[in-house]
Amino acid sequence: MNPLRGIACKVLSVILFTFMAVCIKSTAPHVPPGEAVFFRSALAVPVILGWLAWSRTLRHGLSTRHPLGHFWRGFVGTAAMGLGFTALGFLPLPEATALGYAAPLLTVIFGAMFLGEKVHAFRLTAVFVGLVGVVIVLSPRLTLTNPTEASALQAFGAMAALFGAVCAALAQVTVRKLVTTEATGAIVLYFSLTSVALSFLTIPFGWTVPTGPEAVLLVSAGLLGGAGQIFLTEGYRHAETGVIAPFEYVSMVLALVLGYLIFGEAPTLTMLAGAVLIVAAGLFIIFRERRLGLARAAARRVMTPQG
């Protein structure tokens, strides 16, 4: 274990994913979300294959005992990606980012529902507080007074972000099941391959020929996403989840800065208030899990005979 290296990899992955979102958002007025999913996934495949070959785990990255599990993870993960890209086209970058943070909160609920994980009062309280934050962020987009075309599109984007978070949480629960039997490389690779295949189903809904600058941005999004996935994986290899997971919220700061500098998006007080509750709830769950994990580890050491 090397916690500092793990943290560095996690932060770098967050930076790469945020710039990937900037690339996707920049092309959103002209490029459909399904086409963006294709570029994001297809360009990530050679990056992931190169990483597997370099780390001498290519064989593990190609072998699997649960192809249907990978397909389901790919299906819900691709839906989450497509809905997230849709939200970027209609919402400010910080707002779309904040709503995406609902996924870890929903993962707690789905983990209890589908994996039988125990959820105690502390985590339930944190989930409730976080979901209140989600409602606060959503509230300006769901007003029924004086609706306009612009507000209707923003409401659609907000719903896309929320359902994207639901799909992302389902994908995370599926990954928790897959990691018990499948190599990390296989999970990453088959997700990208499934996303490429599923993106073709969106062709009838309209793909377009990107302009030169858009093509550069889409290719960059794929390369950034593939590299971000690798650094994310390496981060969890070098440090415990509870150590590096809080650094996910660096993306909120980056989204605020880049949203303002690149897109001229100034955050509202309502959005910031909701984001604070969501981030606080997420951090509470992470730190609570870390404390429980340390307590369980200490209990195992006490019970293990010495000598």
Q: Output the 3-class SS for 202-255.
A: HHHHCCCCCCHHHHHHHHHHHHHHHHHHHHHHHHHHHCCHHHHHHHHHHHHHHH
Structure tokens at 82: 């497509």
- Mutual angle of helices 102-114 and 121-138, in 10-degree steps: 140
**For 217-240, what is the mean pLDDT?**
87
Q: Which residues fall within 8 angstroms of residue 226, CB to CB, at 6 or more apart?
A: 43, 44, 45, 46, 47, 48, 192
pLDDT-based confidence at residue 151 (cuts at 50, 70, 90): confident
Q: What is the pLDDT of residues 38-94, one digit of tens each?
A: 999 999 999 889 988 888 888 777 788 889 999 999 999 999 999 999 999 999 999
Q: Which is nearest to 96 in space by CA: 56, 152, 138, 37?
A: 138
* Cβ(23)–Cβ(260) below 8 Å: no
Give Cα 33 to chain centroid, integer Å.
Answer: 16
For 231-287, the pLDDT digits (tens) are 887 887 777 766 777 888 889 999 999 999 999 999 899 999 999 999 999 888 888
Where in the chain are the domains?
A: 3-303
**Model confidence over 188-212: pLDDT tens digits?**
899 999 999 999 999 998 899 999 9
What does the pLDDT read at residue 303? 47
